[in-house]
Each structure stands twice: as structure tokens, then as C-alpha cells.
Amino acid sequence: MSTTESTTARPGESAWEPKLVALDIDGTLLRWIEDRGTPSEALSDKVRDAVRRAYDAGAHVVLSSGRSAHSMTGIADLLGLPEEDAERLWIVASNGAVVLRYPPVDVVHEETFDARPAVETILERRPNVLVAVENRGLGYRFNRPFPEGELDGDHLIAPIDEMVAEPVSRVIIRDPDATPEDFIALGRELGLHGIDYVVGYTAWLDLTPVGVSKASGLSYVCDQLDLEPADVLAIGDGRNDVEMLEWAGRGVAMGNAPEEVQLVADAVTAHVADDGAALELSRWF
């Protein structure tokens, strides 16, 4: 890892400019509401202006988040993207399991898996966890309500067996009484064969198909645009950003990212509270 350099040239190159900018949302573009532990829905002017400069310069701006598809389009609207009559945006949702174009919402790629064995294994060890699956385009189905503000869209209570009866793109496991470290240990202990998982800032476990990550979703987008990973600037702050930061030509961790995320990045920018994403984008656009 290196800290943010003083020049805009990429190491070893005299003039590099990103052709695609991949941006995480929560903790990267959006600040956290400290007393609630949930993201703000307001963009700072500095961040919005920096993203718009990249877009106006011709870079493909791709939102890349663990959020579900229906909760990402509003962020595109806040950014004022795309411009009227312009090419539709590419969006990588659900930690890479869903790729869509917007507007309107048009899912062009989706990866699903059989989550039932993994969920059953987790419930054997943690019978009181909250479980949710995306009801794509609408909201979520869950066994019991999540803490206020953590899941958006329409909510529907359903039996767990029903939720995982068919292949899904993502399962969320949540325990408000546990810690992220508890869930990291749980994932290692269980092995969770046949799926990948990532732990968030809270005791929040995302289960996804093996090999699926933000990097795989972005790779799909690059293939459609005839671009290479070397053309990509990626900025993120979470454990679910690790693969993306390692894959991109330049991967930048936010100053608020956990240490293990900062260690895999090419550079570390300022904290989200100090508009670190805007600072990094301003180096190139």
C-alpha cells in the first residue's frame, strides 16, 4: 500500500487517466450518520462536483455497491447521472451479483446460487440471526425486521425456508447483538463451502455465489465497453471492496476503511467525512 502521491501520473507512466471510475456508495460517496450507524442520503457538493467532472470528461462512472439495485438508482439521481439523452449508466449491485443499466432499470446480468445449505448451517450456530433476501426491484423479504434504516424499499416478512427455496443472488445475515469480529470468526469456523461471504462494519454477513464480487461485476462491464482493468480507478471503504481494489488499475481505499482494506489498496485517500473520494477524483479530473 502507498499513501496518496503528490502527482497525478500513475507510477511508471507519464500520463494515465481513468477511463472507468468505479465508486462504492456507503462510506465512500455517502457519510455515515454516527448515532445511527446508517449512511446519510445526502451527497456533499464536493463529492457530487468531482463525480460530475469525471463524467463530463468522458469517463464511464459506475456505481458499485453491496446495495440492491432498487436502492442504487436514487444515488445516480442525486449525482444527476446520466444526463438527459445520454448513454445509460452501468450499475453493479448486490456485491457484483447484479449488473444493470439505468434509466430505466434493466438488469443485464445476474448470478444466483442455492443459499439454503449455507443458511441452514448458520442458523444451527446462530438461531436468532436476522435473514433477508432481495425482492428484486421492490425491497426485501426477511424473517424478522432489521434495525430501522438498514434496509430500504418494501418489506415483507416470510419464512426462511420460503426465502431460500429458489436460487437467489444474495442473502444478508444480521445480528444486532454481535460484532463484526464475531461474524469474521463465524465465517472462518463454518467454511461456508460453495459460496463467498463478506463481513461489513456491523455484524452483517453478505452471502454471494462463489467467485462473485464487485470485481467480477465490473469485469463484465469492462468487457461490454472493451476496457481493461488497467483502465479503471476504483474507490471504496469496505471489506466487500477488497477484490475490486486489487483488480482495478488503481484501487484507492478511503481513510475510514478498515486496516485490511487499506493494506490491499494502491493508495489511501482522506476519510469520507473529509470528502476523500472527491480528493482522489480531483487528482485526475
- Per-residue pLDDT of the chain (285 residues), as tens digits, is 444 443 345 544 558 999 999 999 999 999 876 655 566 777 999 999 999 999 999 999 999 999 999 889 999 999 999 999 999 999 999 999 999 999 999 999 999 999 999 999 999 999 999 999 988 778 899 999 998 888 888 999 999 999 999 999 999 999 988 888 888 888 888 777 667 788 877 788 899 888 999 999 999 999 999 999 999 999 999 999 999 999 999 999 999 999 999 999 999 999 999 999 999 999 999
Q: Are residues 186 and 220 in the same domain?
A: no
Pairing of strands 98-102, 106-110: antiparallel
Strand partners, 156: 141
Number of domains in the chain: 2
- Is residue 105 exposed (0-12), middle (13-18) or buried (19+ Cβ within 10 Å)? middle
Is position 64 within any domain? yes
What's the pTM?
A: 0.90
Q: Are residues 46 and 183 in the same domain?
A: no
In this structure, are residues 46 and 257 in contact, taking their beta carbons and an 8 Å threshold? no
Sheet with 267-268: strands ordered across: 106-110, 98-102, 89-93, 60-64, 20-23, 232-236, 250-253, 267-268
Structural domain of 173: 115-207
Is position 15 within any domain? no
Q: Check which CATH number belongs to the domain holding 173 and give it.
A: 3.30.1240
Among residues 172, 207, 242, which one ends one of the domains? Answer: 207
Is position 10 within any domain? no
Q: Are residues 98 and 224 in the same domain?
A: yes
